[in-house]
Amino acid sequence: MAIKSYELALFLLSAACFLCSCKGYTPPDNYLIDCGSSANTVVDGRTFLSDSSLPSTVTVTAPGSVFVNASQNSVSPALYRTARVLSAPSSYSFAITKPGRHFVRLYFFPFAAQSHNLSAATFSVSTQDAPLLGGFRPGASPAMKEFSLNLTGDSLIVTFVPSGPAGLAFVNAMEVVSVPDDLIGDTAQTVIPKGPYAGLAEQPLETIYRVNMGGPMVGPSQDTLSRTWLPDKSFLLNANLSTSVANVNAVQHMQGGPTQDTAPDTVYGTCTRLANVSTTASPRFNVTWQFDVDAAPLYLVRLHFCDIVSQASYNLLFNVYIGNSFALQELDLSSLTLGSLATAVYRDFVTGATDPSGKLSVSIGPSADPNVMADGILNGLEIMRMNTTGSVSVVTPPGSRSKLGATVGAVVGAVAVAVLAVLLLLWFRRRKLSRKYQSKTWLPFSVTGATTHSVGSGGSNGTAGASGQNGSFGYRFSFAAVNEATNSFDESWVIGVGGFGKVYKGVMADETQVAVKRGNPKSQQGLNEFRTEIELLSRLRHRHLVSLIGFCDEGNEMILVYEYMEKGTLKSHLYGSDFPNLSWRQRLEACIGAARGLHYLHTGSAKAIIHRDVKSANILLDGNLLAKVADFGLSKTGPELDQTHVSTAVKGSFGYLDPEYFRRQQLTEKSDVYSFGVVLLEVLCARPVIDPTLPREMVNLAEWGMKWQARGELDQIVDARLAGSVQPESLRKFGETVEKCLSDYGVDRPSMGDVLWNLEYALQLQQAAEEGGASGANSINSIAGLSAQVQNMAAAAESPLLLGASPVLGGADDLSDVSMSRVFSQLIKSEGR
Ligand SMILES: *[C@@H]1O[C@H](CO)[C@@H](O)[C@H](O)[C@H]1NC(C)=O
Ligand SMILES: *[C@@H]1O[C@H](CO)[C@@H](O)[C@H](O)[C@H]1NC(C)=O
Ligand SMILES: *[C@@H]1O[C@H](CO)[C@@H](O)[C@H](O)[C@H]1NC(C)=O
Ligand SMILES: *[C@@H]1O[C@H](CO)[C@@H](O)[C@H](O)[C@H]1NC(C)=O
Ligand SMILES: *[C@@H]1O[C@H](CO)[C@@H](O)[C@H](O)[C@H]1NC(C)=O
Ligand SMILES: *[C@@H]1O[C@H](CO)[C@@H](O)[C@H](O)[C@H]1NC(C)=O
Ligand SMILES: CC(=O)N[C@H]1CO[C@H](CO)[C@@H](O)[C@@H]1O
């Protein structure tokens, strides 16, 4: 509510701004100081106070400091003509009226002063909570350093500590100005690997670049937050591949989206666009901007977009890269703005330098879809350094309480952040290195046995390839056979596209329908996934895992042939397509099937197998809506008995990723349980797990769902098509299960076996109620039904591997670790309700 009215106030202010052309945002804290000056200085309509007549809310503790000024005929900008020279640790302390983000801007220019050699000054600057500059030596020309800090206390102490042989520090001017709370959110997306990043809210940031693509320089007087935006020409690698477009008056803002304070209209209303050079030999190319950065730290990269170029919605489709990795793949701006054109949006990313020599590059390039015209735009870009190292010093103003405790806490916090950053970096590097040292050519997978040219699918015409260690790999098909089965990889037979490549429908010579996944031979990741999938799927057979029929590794091909799943993905039955609605029972049954498949993966062989990419798009339905788990490309064998986890780079899909896995990079089966919990919510609510078009608090389904579950009102967000048909008892059981799956810590999450049992139980509750209310007789029937299953389970528990190896057995064949006493205690409890 508070946020709403605040936004309304902002809106009114910006509306007022339109009328009176005053600034849109009034900062609660607004300190502007012209350091070393004995008179006020007005710059761009803002008054910088004289350093000698400061208000009582600013305390300077600067023993032995002196004011110096440049020669009378200096032509440097006004704020850079005076300085306060500090020859001992010194501080400026500001009273803060409203906690939250503030810009701290420091101005430096070592002009020639008579009394001191400012060029020799070397010093560090910190606040009581964050290091700002370490061993800093101002350059030869005027420069402003801008930091964005989330201040939590009632004061900000900026401390300068001289560190060079000259024992000097100085500052020309300072600003401490409030920033709207929603300017920097808490979350962003990491690029390598792709995933969520949380924790920006408390992160100190230093602005490194702020660029207006395709437009002019925007100065402090044209920006509601007095920022400076540079033109992009000097950062373009090849300026002749792009054109500039401007349509400033068209810019619109959507509710809950960026405002004038996010970036001025001059930024959103101008862009750099892929040039229309379709006459040249290669009409498809990228436009790249390159920035010098330090190789070590992480950066927050904010990309601003506003489709001022399209004539109609949904026509512009393009890719955005940070370094060589996708930041936004097949970006469709209209879908982020509910279809409206010329509407401002931005996306935040966290990345390291994209080149070890200290470069960060951002590119836009055409869509991979050959039917889409090569086009792409970028309107603005900000690169902010996330400071994670260094120490803080505090020169406490006289009379104020010592804040040692707070300082120590801050240092400890900073160390924790630093450790996290180092981990992130190491793992970023490792990925880079491992990629670098991988051979560029694709080595045929070592499978013995000759290739034959005849085709079969379970018949006797294929070759049963075998490897020494892992037993049978199933059938090895000739390329000719696969080619024929897919009508020469007919594009109109494509039934899906994944990271690995396209999936085609196919019909083998004996009329068996198959799904054929053809990998991109150039993808190294693809090769690993190809191998993993063959190895795993050849070992595992289960009614609820999609079966591998065979593969083809002829030449450079990486082709996998699976059983055909007629009804497609579970996801497509929930939203985004026009399949008939699934009833709550059907949905529960699909979840139960998938849970069985995962439970088998986790427990069906000596070493647990962790799927790592559990999502509704990887759960497929056959003609009878029987659910099977697919896509084992990312799967990993679980921990050895003596370990509790597998350490690994984070992979998986945004929105489903276990936060603990992301934090600690330790993989356990419980990461799959988390992702499965997200799938359960998706099944209940029938909406995407991440929907950036929704209001902020609704974007992430897991968060949104848990909010309602915590209030005991999960029924409020049930798919409208299920209205009234979900029995409250069933929903309650389901909700509790979801909540447990989504526990923050893996140890608090149930095993897949427990999840399975709880879902079975939710189904029983639903059936019991549907079949005539919870009369005594029906309850007894459903208990009888369950007991029968429990007996099956007990039988199954004796030889899980054997049952797993045989796909025909199926049913409740894999509940090996559900304890009988638990089953009954839960039944008894429920009867008591
Ligand atoms: C330099 O400082 C002196 C005394 O502080 C002042 O009188 C003089 O006007 C200043 N010069 C300039 C160029 O500002
Ligand atoms: C000022 O210090 C710089 C760096 O130490 C030095 O290169 C320069 O010669 C000095 N200038 C004067 C006038 O002493
Ligand atoms: C500042 O940090 C606090 C936690 O220390 C957080 O609650 C608050 O939301 C943050 N404010 C902003 C504007 O990010
Ligand atoms: C565009 O840039 C490329 C590479 O710098 C250069 O080879 C080419 O001649 C340029 N084309 C034009 C029309 O300037
Ligand atoms: C690009 O050029 C092609 C042919 O030269 C033309 O059909 C198309 O409209 C142009 N696109 C734009 C955006 O100017
Ligand atoms: C654009 O850059 C990306 C990342 O480096 C690359 O994968 C892609 O092939 C490039 N596209 C074109 C059309 O050059
Ligand atoms: C962004 C930022 O403030 N970076 C600083 C972090 O702290 C180190 C050490 O004090 C400095 O060197 C960086 O300049």
For ligand 7, whether the C-beta of 125 sits within 6 Å is: no
Which band of pLDDT confidence, cut at 50, 70 and 90, is reported for residue 10? Answer: very low
- The mean pLDDT of 597-625, rounded to a whole number, is 88
Which band of pLDDT confidence, cut at 50, 70 and 90, is reported for residue 520? Answer: confident
pLDDT at 74: 82
Write the residue with the smallest CA distance to atom 14 of ligand 7: 133
CA of 81 to the centre of ligand 1 (A): 10
CA of 566 to the centre of ligand 2 (A): 78
pLDDT exceeds cutoff 90 at 733: yes
CA of 323 to the centre of ligand 6 (A): 10
pLDDT exceeds cutoff 80 at 21: no
Write the residue with the smallest CA distance to atom 10 of ligand 6: 286
- Name the one residue in this structure whose structure tokens are 């070397």: 122
For ligand 5, whether the C-beta of 280 sits within 6 Å is: no
pLDDT exceeds cutoff 60 at 786: no
* Between 299 and 392, residue with greater pLDDT: 299
Q: Which domains does the chain have, with CATH numbers?
A: 2-21+185-385 (2.60.120.430), 30-179 (2.60.120.430), 432-564+818-833 (3.30.200.20), 571-801 (1.10.510.10)
* Furthest C-alpha separation in the chain: 100
Name the nearest CA neighbour of 608 among 769, 432, 751, 705.
751
For ligand 5, whether the C-beta of 528 sits within 6 Å is: no
For ligand 5, whether the C-beta of 278 sits within 6 Å is: yes
Q: Which residues pair with 211 in a beta bridge?
A: 230, 381
Average pLDDT value for the chain:
79
Write the residue with the smallest CA distance to atom 9 of ligand 1: 72
Which band of pLDDT confidence, cut at 50, 70 and 90, is reported for residue 553? Answer: confident
Q: Give per-residue pLDDT as tens, 128-164.
A: 989 999 889 999 999 999 999 999 999 999 999 998 8
Atom of ligand 1 nearest to the CA of 69: 1
- The mean pLDDT of 418-442, rounded to a whole number, is 38
Look up residue 250 and give its amino acid: A
pLDDT exceeds cutoff 60 at 98: yes
Which residues are annotated as part of the binding site for ATP?
517
Which band of pLDDT confidence, cut at 50, 70 and 90, is reported for residue 387? Answer: low
CA-to-CA dists, residue 552 to 53, 128, 367, 660, angstroms: 80, 62, 29, 37
- The mean pLDDT of 326-339, rounded to a whole number, is 91
Q: What percent of the chain lies above the pLDDT cut of 70?
A: 76
Q: Give per-residue pLDDT as tens, 505-518.
A: 999 888 888 999 88
For ligand 7, whether the C-beta of 133 sits within 6 Å is: yes
User: What is the separation of C-alpha 759 from the centre of its chain, rounded to a whole number of angstroms?
Assistant: 30
Residue to probe by mutation, ligand 5, list 241, 274, 276, most atoms within 8 Å of CB = 276
Residues with active-site annotation: 613
Q: Which two tokens stand for residue 349?
A: 């990313």
Residues contacting 455, CB < 8 A, separation 6+: 461, 462, 477, 478, 481, 484, 485, 508, 509, 510
Give the DSSP H or E segment for 196.
strand 195-198
pTM: 0.54
Which band of pLDDT confidence, cut at 50, 70 and 90, is reported for residue 524? Answer: low
Q: Give per-residue pLDDT as tens, 645-698.
A: 555 555 567 788 888 877 777 778 999 999 999 999 999 999 999 888 888 888
Q: Give per-residue pLDDT as tens, 458-471.
A: 333 333 333 323 33
∠ CA 58-61-62, rounded to 5°:
125
106 with 163: CB under 8 angstroms?
Answer: no
Write the residue with the smallest CA distance to atom 13 of ligand 1: 72
pLDDT at 793: 41
